[in-house]
Amino acid sequence: MSTAVERAARLRALHVPGTPLVLPNAWDAATARAVVAAGFPAVATASAAMAPALGYDDSEGTPPDEVFAAVARIARAVDVPVTADVERGYRLAAAEIGARLVAAGAVGCNLEDSDASTGELVPVEEQAELLAGVRAAAPDVVINARVDAFLHGSGSREDRLAEAVRRGRAYAEAGADCVYPLVVDRLDLAEVRKLVEAIGVPVNLAFLPGGPSLGELAEAGVARVSYGPGLFRVLQGHLEAALAAIAAGGSPYPGGPGPA
């Protein structure tokens, strides 16, 4: 069994611009094991999948004790590095966030820069202070700093891109290993290249339906690609279809008989 320091170093080394770390996000031990069995070298959680799986709403609706307990179950279930989406830390102090990550066996984390209660961006200095505090408390943990300028910023698209770069640079200076500008509407490869070139540390982007392919993101210099709650929602769709088939008197299984 590798040590936490070794797993953290392995996770950090997987962030290679042009050869991105691909993370089909998990939400429990079973899905984490499936990710590893499929050959992926690390496991990332997604709060928007984990929260409903635990019976809560996303946007910090899950009690932190339950979040970190779920992360610990995942970390115990797999032998690869685990990085945890902990939103903005559930209103915990930076030192406690770092300590809880380490205690849960996570060697990486996502921390976002918008306030879950208001949906507004927090001041960049405040977020940089949080990131620096987590870095001080957990020096080996790989910090992925999510930037919500595209989601909650103001002004034109160009203004939001510039704000994402400004925040990304500040977070890198505060100790973030990777910067994650979250774009959920569309991804323009020219914008991707600007982010990669201007931020200056490994950049994480979300894989979106109808967006650039993994190959295109790699060519643009992306170092990490996340699927967020995407797989959870795909599987929920399959479950809902199967349940509808049963409710109609049919079979949930492919090729099974239809309603009588």
- Cα torsion at 113, 118, 119, 124 (round to 10°)? -30
Specify the pLDDT at position 45: 98
Specify the pLDDT at position 187: 79
- 120-143 as b/e: b if 16+ CB within 10 A: ebbebeebbebbbbbbebbebbbb
Distance CA 14, CA 87 (A): 22
* pTM of the predicted model as reported, rounded to 2 decimal places: 0.95
CATH topology of domain 4-228: TIM Barrel (3.20.20)
- pLDDT means per 10 residues, the chain with 260 residues, are 93 98 98 98 98 96 98 98 98 98 98 94 98 98 98 94 98 98 89 96 96 96 98 97 96 77
Specify the pLDDT at position 258: 65
| 259 touches 249 (CB < 8 A) | yes
Specify the pLDDT at position 94: 98
Specify the pLDDT at position 254: 84
Distance CA 32, CA 16 (A): 22
Distance CA 34, CA 46 (A): 15
Specify the pLDDT at position 228: 97
Specify the pLDDT at position 1: 65
Q: Which amino acid belongs to residue 168? A: G
Classified as helix, coil or strand, 253 is coil
HEC profile of 128-163:
HHHHHHHHHHCCCCEEEEEECHHHHCCCCHHHHHHH
Specify the pLDDT at position 82: 98
Q: For 155, which DSSP code?
A: S
Distance CA 133, CA 73 (A): 25
